[in-house]
Structure 1
Amino acid sequence: MRYIDVSSPGGPDVMRVVDGPLPLVRAGEVLVKVEAVGINRPDVAQRQGSYPPPKDASPVMGLEVAGTVAAVGEGVQDFAIGDKVCGLANGGGYAEYCLLPVGQTLPWPKGYDAIKAAAVPETFFTVWANLFQMAGVTEGETVLIHGGTSGIGTTAIQLAKAFGADVFTTAGSADKCAACEKLGAKRAINYKNEDFAAVIKAETDGKGVDVILDMIGAAYFEKNIASLAKDGCLSIIAFLGGAVAEKVNLGPIMVKRLTVTGSTMRPRTAEEKRAIRDDLLSEVWPLLEQGTVAPVIHAVLPFEQVAEAHRQMEESNHIGKIVLTLQG
């Protein structure tokens, strides 16, 4: 099979298409003939050398794929050869064949093709786990989502709105803010010329929001705390603005009884990922099939243009997902 190899940590041009053996399917896994691959920030970090894969995972990049089941491992009963599936990989997605643990594998939503299906798993797993399982977003609450036009952001806006929350978000241009509001955000805040904490205070009559989904980290920490209502929750999923917050006043956390939590998907156990998968099948797949929510796709590029896909990710001008296709 062909796969994307990284010769050494570096920029997008260190990636090359090379030939290698097919992965061997093990018990509890399905081997997928890949038709499309989603690009994600962790892929960029892995290419740069700052996000190494777990010891038992494929060293090849790629965390979400869609395609056709080519083989099934011992004990697999939910899927058969020829089924159209997508899923969250532990690695190995940038390849013509990829292994998926059966507990992280889902059927394509009805009416979806490979490109749309490949744009779902990583962001929907992440948003469901952090916004709904951990932060407990419920109908009638208010949510602030940073990075509203990222793959995570476009997913979070739609899901929070679909489950009855009022959504605020941040983005870096007027066009991006307009895209967020079209997806269902009540108010999109241009962080380049507006103070999001001040806007949230004004929009909520000083109360603040119930939940914040944050991928910025240290640079936003104090303003996030200021923007939360009593008993609010700050859920941190990345550190694009730094991981170390210095000289932080912890008083508001105590006074407002706040919860600060965070997670990353890759180290979660197979059982934890299966629980997220099961929730997605029961709670979110119907919404995808009804068209209530949908992945936002910015660009679709041929597999061989993986370097260009990573450049687009790093430039951060995209709205939604960037997908590689192996079809034709």
Structure 2
Amino acid sequence: MTQNTMQQVIITEPGGIEKLAYETVDIPTVQAGEVLVKVHAFGINRPDILQRQGLYPMPKGVTPVPGLEVAGEVIAIGANVSKFTVGDKVCGLTNGGGYAEYCVVPESQTITIPENMSFVQAAAIPETFFTVWANVFQMANAKAGETLLVHGGASGIGTTALMLCKSLGLKSFATVGSDEKVQAISHLTTTINYKTENFEQVINEKTNNEGVDIILDMVGAPYLDQNLNLLRRDGRLVYIAFLGGAKAKDVKLGQIMMKRLTITGSTMRARTTVEKAEIAQDLMENVAPLWAKGECLPMIYKTFKFDQIQDAHAAMDTGNHIGKIVVEVI
């Protein structure tokens, strides 16, 4: 290793954790509109797992090196960069390449780290907060006083959504798969173990059969009927994944029409730079003040060292994590 080179993680071929390896390459060159970040920590996300398995194809021109979020120190800036200077502590939503000692990030997708936040916490922000804000608060237009149901409530996405609901005045419910997870997030929401309880029945009982306004779903097809049953008039069903199945055989179209329901979904990677910039700006205006007060700080399940990337992926593969898994680089 020299001053001009770095290590990064590569996927040698689609498969299990053994397909993750390290290689030494040149430190990337910062381009116009970008910042070069010396990475202190990066987050592990479900899309990384899917990419490793060969189930999340890269858009044309995007680096095959995984990693969607980093936190660290700006060490170089490209032309036309005005918000950041060398030495700034930041976190950013990458376009890939975050599993590395250095990473370039578009200035418009980069956020200043509050003084009270560690690099590990900051590394857990971009992918989950960008995703939740875009889907729940922009697309679904969630407002204080409404009720949100989150499937997968103990995940990084789930805990982020629930913290934001609590701070921004929304009521919430969450489904999880173990009693341990029920206890772990009980301070944030009304939690339901879907393996031992019927979540539709529980929510109806607790809402006097009124249901919820918004559902954030990463399970997919198996929950469609119950989701439609639970949504109130003008309710919104938002898909961000379909871990339980992508194709629903039957859809109650009449219920969608009678309730005036909206069904939508999105992926972050497919969004344009302009769209991601708008999300970042919204987060700085609406969520950064919460971070500064010590609210909505990411829940960290476990941290790993840079040379333990296979272990970090193995931890995500189990599905037992509560909150975020983060890798510390330095």
**Residue 233 of structure 1 pairs with residue 258 of structure 2:** no
* Consecutive unaligned residues in structure 1, runs of 5 or more: none
Kept in 2, the 8 Å contact 1:31–1:72? The answer is yes
Within-5 A mapping of 1:122-201: 122-182=127-187, 184-185=188-189, 187-201=190-204
Q: Secondary structure at the match of 1:20?
A: strand
Q: Which of 33, 39, 57 is the equivalent residue of 1:34?
A: 39
Letter of the 1:162 partner, please give it: S
Q: Secondary structure at the match of 2:84?
A: coil
Kept in 2, the 8 Å contact 1:5–1:16? The answer is yes
Aligned to 1:209: 212
Report how far residue 250 of structure 1 moved: 1.7
CA RMSD of aligned residues (A): 0.8
Kept in 2, the 8 Å contact 1:69–1:81? The answer is yes
**Residue 270 of structure 1 pairs with residue 273 of structure 2:** yes
Q: Secondary structure at the match of 1:181?
A: coil
Alpha-carbon distance in 2 for matches of 1:20, 1:292: 39
Tell me the percent identity: 54
Letter of the 1:296 partner, please give it: M
Deviations 1:73-124 (A, max 9, x none): 1100111111111010010000011110010001112211211110111100
Alignment coverage as a number of residue pairs: 325
Aligned to 2:24: 19
Greater mean alpha carbon deviation, residues 317-326 or residues 170-179: 170-179
Alpha-carbon distance in 2 for matches of 1:199, 1:247: 24
Aligned to 1:305: 308
Q: Secondary structure at the match of 1:223?
A: helix
User: What TM-score, normalized to structure 2?
Assistant: 0.97
User: What TM-score, normalized to structure 1?
Assistant: 0.98
Letter of the 1:280 partner, please give it: L
* Displaced runs of 4 or more, over 2 A: none
Kept in 2, the 8 Å contact 1:53–1:91? The answer is no
Alpha-carbon distance in 2 for matches of 1:235, 1:207: 19
Q: Which of 259, 266, 272 is the equivalent residue of 1:256?
A: 259
Kept in 1, the 8 Å contact 2:135–2:238? The answer is yes
Letter of the 2:152 partner, please give it: G
